[in-house]
């Protein structure tokens, strides 16, 4: 069986961390098995769906590097839904209902007041039409057909159909709700695995009967634990963390994907530069049922680790003209975000203000300026210079290295000095040592 997965967002906004995780896991599972990853735009809600949001979803997936093998739009598939709706209606699996939302709400309150589950009370036969009202439509569950499946994350799942309401599948205005069109699409597109959050478990129970009513083999299901904020509480803030914030922060997409691929498992989280190694070990058996804790600070840490290993080719298009491969290789270790490299332009190619140092450090730097003039810069000038100064001044450790770093870079910390001084160059280094000695 060739694996086919799908990511099915509604075009109502940009991708956030929760649905990015769903998209990623669908992508990785398909990649692991040499299958296909499809994008389905669920735009049946015409009031909330926008073309701009749909374009943003495509752009966000492209930025993340999660490229679908094909994409479809539900609004282009209404004729297919209509045909299957008519078939199910003729088979007696769909029926019309005329209650208003207020009447249904009153029924639920009465049932709850009696200590009963608030399940829709199915009429004995067809609902009687109410003049002036258009019906909404429900799918008739088969109470004699047990519902169960082996979930790839949650294990054995069992539902009693007597305890489920016949779900509304179509509104009175003719617009579609999620459940039936999704099943029709999954059948038509040959979806083999549905990967989504555990909040869809009851939907899956209902949809299994829809697959059966349409004489189709259902996909396998993987219902994953939901993400929670780092402090352990469900948080609306997670809905705001997504591609937009990542781009504003200047983060690498693979920093986020490296975390989301392993979050909720016991596998170590490692910063990787592309999804291939994540796909190679991706397995739903590794995921537990406990909520997965998401912390943006972990993404930041992974981002720094990732940058420190990225080759120049991976960032070249985003770099300013003054940054070449040598500059990137030297400076990347000091970066938390790729955009920070511009902060090193003055250090490497410009002028820096002489630091305010104690008199004894200035005397030491005067000695360093003289030594730098006679140092061989063709090989390893930093170690040649510091070895000379260590022998002549008796300084070592911080007393030796700190004044030199501050004088040459204007900073207390940064990349390794040996390659950095070669990048700065002999003339600038000598001039900065002399300037720092004068104070």
Please report, in range form, the residues annotated as the binding site for ATP. 236
Q: Is 385 exposed, middle or buried (0-12, 13-18, 19+ CB in 10 A)?
A: buried
Annotated binding site: 236
> What is the spatial distance between Cα 172 and Cα 98, in angstroms, rounded to a whole number?
9
Asked if 286 and 265 count as a contact pair (C-beta separation under 8 A), the reply is yes
Q: Which of 25, 336, 325 minimizes the C-alpha distance to 193?
A: 25
Asked if 245 and 262 count as a contact pair (C-beta separation under 8 A), the reply is no
Please give the structure tokens belonging to residue 381. Answer: 């000038």
> What is the spatial distance between Cα 267 and Cα 407, in angstroms, rounded to a whole number?
44
Please list the alpha-helical segments (H only) found in 197-344: 201-213, 243-249, 253-262, 276-280, 296-307, 325-331
Q: What angle do CA 88, 89, 92 make, to 5 degrees?
A: 90
- Please give the C-alpha separations between residue 163 and each of 61, 81, 114, 116, 205, in angstroms, as whole numbers: 39, 27, 16, 10, 11
> What is the spatial distance between Cα 415 and Cα 410, in angstroms, rounded to a whole number?
13
Task: Specify the 3-state DSSP secondary structure of 228.
Answer: strand
Q: What is the 3-state secondary structure (H, E, C) of 381-434?
A: HHHHHHHHHHHHHCCCCHHHHHHHHHHHHCCCCCCCHHHHHHHHCHHHHHHHHH
> What is the spatial distance between Cα 214 and Cα 83, in angstroms, rounded to a whole number?
12
> What is the spatial distance between Cα 111 and Cα 109, in angstroms, rounded to a whole number?
5
Residue identified by tokens 């590097």 is 65
Q: Which residues pair with 150 in a beta bridge?
A: 156
Task: Specify the 3-state DSSP secondary structure of 201.
Answer: helix
> What is the spatial distance between Cα 17 and Cα 19, in angstroms, rounded to a whole number?
6
Q: Which residues pair with 265 in a beta bridge?
A: 287
- Please give the C-alpha separations between residue 343 and each of 142, 404, 433, in angstroms, as whole numbers: 66, 20, 21
């Amino acid at each position: 069986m060739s694996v086919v997965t799908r990511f099915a967002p509604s075009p109502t906004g940009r991708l956030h961390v929760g649905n990015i995780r769903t998209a990623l896991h669908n992508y990785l599972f398909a990649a692991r098995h040499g299958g296909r990853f499809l994008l389905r735009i669920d735009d049946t809600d015409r009031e909330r769906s926008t073309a701009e949001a749909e374009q943003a979803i495509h752009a966000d997936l492209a930025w993340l590097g999660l490229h679908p093998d094909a994409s479809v739009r539900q609004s282009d598939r209404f004729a297919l839904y209509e045909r299957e709706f008519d078939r199910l209606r003729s088979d007696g699996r769909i029926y019309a209902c005329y209650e208003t939302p207020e009447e249904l709400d009153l029924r639920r309150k009465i049932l709850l007041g009696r200590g009963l589950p608030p399940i829709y009370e199915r009429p004995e036969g067809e609902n009687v039409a109410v003049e002036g009202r258009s019906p909404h439509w429900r799918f008739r569950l088969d109470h004699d057909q047990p519902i169960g499946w082996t979930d790839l994350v949650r294990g054995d799942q069992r539902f009693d159909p007597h305890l489920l309401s016949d779900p509304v599948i179509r509104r009175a205005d003719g617009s579609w709700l999620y459940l039936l069109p999704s099943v029709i699409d999954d059948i038509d597109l040959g979806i083999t695995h549905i990967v989504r959050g555990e909040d869809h478990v009851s939907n899956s129970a209902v949809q299994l009967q829809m697959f059966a009513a349409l004489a189709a083999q259902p996909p396998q299901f993987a219902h994953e634990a939901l993400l929670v904020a780092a402090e352990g509480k469900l948080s609306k803030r997670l809905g705001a963390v997504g591609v937009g914030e990542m781009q504003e922060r200047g983060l690498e997409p693979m920093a986020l994907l490296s975390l989301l691929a392993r979050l909720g498992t016991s596998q170590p989280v490692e910063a990787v530069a592309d999804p291939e190694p994540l796909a190679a070990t991706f397995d739903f058996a590794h995921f537990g049922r406990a909520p997965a804790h998401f912390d943006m600070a972990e993404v930041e840490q992974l981002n720094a680790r990732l940058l420190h290993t990225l080759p120049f080719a991976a960032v070249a298009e985003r770099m300013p003209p003054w940054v070449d491969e040598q500059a990137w290789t030297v400076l990347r270790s000091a970066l938390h975000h790729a955009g920070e490299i511009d902060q090193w332009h003055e250090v490497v190619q410009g002028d820096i203000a002489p630091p305010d140092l104690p008199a004894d450090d200035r005397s030491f730097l005067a000695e360093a300026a003289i030594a730098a003039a006679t140092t061989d810069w063709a090989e390893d000038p930093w170690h040649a210079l510091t070895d000379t100064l260590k022998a002549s001044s008796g300084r070592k450790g911080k007393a030796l290295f700190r004044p030199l770093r501050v004088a040459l870079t204007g900073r207390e910390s940064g990349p390794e000095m040996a390659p950095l001084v070669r990048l700065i160059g002999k003339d600038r280094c000598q001039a900065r040592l002399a300037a720092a000695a004068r104070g």
